[in-house]
């Protein structure tokens, strides 16, 4: 019995199969995938995608429902029974396929249905439908009530007239400034970029750490506000402060609650939910925060955002660029946007942008790197080329 239980726990050799067999003890002498179990066929992928699209699993219980429904179908059709890990890995692989295809429209329907822009009409406006990628320019810094962030964005009307002419896929704004996007586009004679609406407000970004940190949703009907403003997506932050920071546990709870509240409303209105994953640590003086770069902290936080139901995750790039693969892996099947590198040299930033996309990022987010650039148009064209190609 112990040997059989051990056999059940063993998984595949990296192909994501991990399949059950009637004779669970039969396997290769060296371990790896069990003998006699075929690879997934198109018919199985179609059924998996159909079940996934119907259930849209965000919790462990929902994933169990997906597996149970799929197992019932396999029993009826005589297909091999697969365990939950195999099912999750297969869906993740199908989802990943849409990121690397140069033209996702050529992918099989069951593959396309797993990408967010094929599950939401609004999401089609966020991503380039040719390659499923996005350049998002964030200019919502004024919401964080710190004068340092206002440099270059004092007049949002003027800023937006410039930005819309750069033709990003989306622009990120707060509710009070969002209406300017349409007027700026009309004044410049440009198509209106997709709007991503900032839904929360926080005081943890200030130069000095506040005595009572908070991060709250702006109002209880923020998704209805997003719809009124014609937003194609909404964004909120999932925060993790140092354990010894005042209010660290409470603010983490607040941001978890924010994500869950928005997830419920976004599901109701079919609004794509973007979760900004942000872990911070003390600076040397221990009076304000800098970005946390420890993967043992940032990767689990990104996974939490995925588990809570983020359709798209915005993450800070790790110090070691190879760790991008870890972030992308733990976040599947959510799409991942990476904050653009802020290296001092422009060539390094462009090269990092190319690498992030080649490694599977769904897009990049830039803000002050574009706003403060001496020639925003030239720099943005280079970024767009790195994301979308020629």
| Number of residues that this document lists for the chain | 390
Crossing angle (nearest 10°) for helices 42-55 and 60-77: 140
Return the pLDDT at 122: 85
Q: Summarize pLDDT for 122-152 with one digit per residue, the tens.
A: 888 998 878 889 999 999 988 888 878 888 8
**Of the candidates 274, 329, 333, 278, which has an alpha carbon nearest to the alpha carbon of residue 301?**
278
Question: Residue 35 pLDDT more than 60?
Answer: no
The maximal CA–CA distance of the chain, rounded, in angstroms, is: 74
> What is the number of other CB atoms lying within 10 angstroms of the CB of residue 319?
10
First to last CA, the chain: 59
Sequence-ordered list of residues with C-beta below 8 angstroms from that of 340, at least 6 positions apart, any chain: 349, 352, 353, 364, 365, 366, 369, 383
Question: Residue 6 pLDDT more than 50?
Answer: no
Q: Which residues pair with 239 in a beta bridge?
A: 278
Return the pLDDT at 7: 39
pLDDT band at 25 (very low <50, low <70, confident <90, very high): very low
Among 42-46, 107-111, 113-117, 316-320, top mean pLDDT goes to 316-320
Sequence-ordered list of residues with C-beta below 8 angstroms from that of 203, at least 6 positions apart, any chain: 144, 145, 210, 213, 214, 215
pLDDT band at 21 (very low <50, low <70, confident <90, very high): very low
Is the CB of residue 9 less than 8 Å from the CB of residue 2? no
Rounded to 5 degrees, φ, ψ at 217 are -65, 145
Q: Summarize pLDDT for 188-198 with one digit per residue, the tens.
A: 999 999 999 99
Q: Summarize pLDDT for 277-320 with one digit per residue, the tens.
A: 999 999 888 888 888 889 999 999 999 999 999 999 999 999 89
Which domains are assigned to the chain? 2-112 (no CATH), 116-388 (3.20.20.70)
Burial class of residue 329 in the structure, from the number of CB atoms within 10 Å of its CB (0-12 exposed, 13-18 middle, 19+ buried) = middle
Mean of the pLDDT values across residues 195-215? 90
Return the pLDDT at 309: 92
At residue 148, the 3 state secondary structure works out as helix
Q: Which residues pair with 238 in a beta bridge?
A: 277
Per-residue HEC secondary structure of 346-383 comes to HHHHHHHHHHHHHCCCCEEEECHHHHCCCCHHHHHHHH
Return the pLDDT at 96: 63
C-alpha radius of gyration, the chain, whole number: 22
Return the pLDDT at 31: 42
User: Is the alpha carbon torsion for 289, 294, 295, 301 positive or negative?
Assistant: negative
Return the pLDDT at 3: 41
pTM of the entire predicted model: 0.72
Which of 367 and 145 is assigned the larger pLDDT? Answer: 367
Mean of the pLDDT values across residues 86-99? 74
pLDDT band at 23 (very low <50, low <70, confident <90, very high): very low
CA 145 to chain centre: 26
Question: Residue 342 pLDDT more than 80?
Answer: no
Which of 164 and 63 is assigned the larger pLDDT? Answer: 164
Mean of the pLDDT values across residues 95-114? 50
């Amino acid at each position: 019995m112990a040997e059989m239980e051990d056999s059940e726990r063993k998984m595949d050799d990296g192909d994501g199969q991990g399949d059950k067999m009637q004779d669970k003890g039969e396997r290769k002498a060296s371990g790896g995938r069990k003998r006699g179990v075929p690879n997934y066929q198109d018919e199985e992928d179609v059924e998996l995608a159909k079940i996934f699209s119907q259930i849209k699993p965000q919790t462990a219980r929902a994933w169990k429902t997906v597996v149970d429904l799929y197992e019932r179908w396999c029993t009826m059709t005589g297909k091999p029974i697969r365990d939950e890990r195999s099912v999750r890995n297969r869906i993740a692989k199908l989802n990943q396929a849409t990121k690397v295809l140069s033209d996702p429209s050529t992918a099989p329907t069951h593959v396309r249905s797993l990408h967010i822009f094929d599950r939401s009409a609004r999401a089609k406006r966020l991503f380039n439908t040719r390659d499923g990628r996005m350049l998002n320019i964030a200019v919502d810094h004024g919401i964080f009530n710190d004068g340092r962030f206002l440099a270059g964005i004092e007049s949002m009307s003027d800023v937006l007239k410039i930005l819309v002419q750069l033709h990003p896929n989306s622009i990120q704004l707060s509710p009070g400034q969002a209406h300017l996007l349409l007027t700026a586009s009309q004044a410049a004679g440009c198509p209106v970029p997709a709007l991503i609406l900032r839904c929360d407000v926080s005081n943890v970004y200030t130069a000095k750490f506040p005595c009572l940190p908070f991060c709250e949703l702006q109002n209880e009907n923020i998704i209805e506000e997003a719809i009124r403003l014609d937003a194609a997506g909404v964004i909120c932050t999932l925060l993790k402060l140092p354990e010894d920071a005042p209010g660290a546990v409470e603010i983490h709870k607040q941001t978890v609650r924010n994500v869950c509240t928005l997830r419920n409303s976004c599901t109701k209105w079919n609004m794509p939910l973007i979760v900004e994953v942000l872990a911070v640590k003390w600076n040397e003086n221990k009076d304000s925060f800098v970005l946390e770069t420890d993967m043992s902290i940032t990767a689990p936080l990104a996974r939490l955002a995925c588990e809570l139901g983020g359709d798209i995750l915005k993450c800070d790039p790790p110090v070691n660029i190879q760790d991008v693969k870890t972030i992308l892996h733990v976040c599947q099947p959510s799409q991942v946007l990476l904050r653009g590198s802020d290296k001092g040299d422009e060539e390094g930033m462009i090269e990092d942008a190319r690498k992030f996309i080649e490694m599977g990022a769904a897009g990049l987010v830039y803000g002050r790197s574009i706003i403060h650039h001496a020639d925003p148009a030239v720099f943005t064209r280079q970024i767009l080329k790195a994301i979308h190609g020629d």
